[in-house]
Amino acid sequence: MNISEAQVVVMLRKTHVMQDILVVFGILLFLSGCAANSHTVTLSNGQSATKVKGKVVSIGFETGNIVLKTGRGEEVTVTFSDSTVKMNFGTMEEIGKGKPLEVVYLVSSKANNAVSIKKLQEASCN
């Protein structure tokens, strides 16, 4: 079986196109995790809230504050309370530095008030 030079060129071009597609797919996959910016969501009561993913930089149990660092390096401080909905964990003491979280919060003039905090799998946000 003889392969012409033109067939080799076509095969190489297809290989480069597939590599480009894989790179774009990888970038999109990366951006879908913690690197994605925060975005607006609508709560069941119609209020607009902000959803952000990041890793815990610090948590103040006395002050009720969590500082998250997004995949893009932005730090977001949110305030939690007894009314904050907790998903995938029981108590705030189960959350520690470096843990990946997804937080939905309402912005007020005084603070970013957490509506819900969801503990993500350890491999998230890497």
Largest CA distance in the chain: 76
Q: What CATH architecture does domain 39-119 belong to? A: Beta Barrel (2.40)
Phi, psi dihedrals of residue 71, rounded to the nearest 5°: -60, -20
Domains of the chain, by residue range, sit at: 39-119
Full-model pTM: 0.69
Query: Residue 125's closest CA among 107, 101, 104?
Result: 101
R_g (Cα) of the chain, nearest Å: 21
pLDDT tens for the 126 residues of the chain, in order: 577 777 766 666 766 555 665 444 444 444 445 655 678 888 889 999 999 999 999 999 999 999 999 988 999 999 999 999 999 998 888 999 999 999 999 999 889 999 999 999 887 665
Q: Under DSSP, is residue 12 helix (H, G, I), strand (E, B) or coil?
A: helix
Whole-angstrom distance, CA of residue 120 vs CA of residue 113:
19
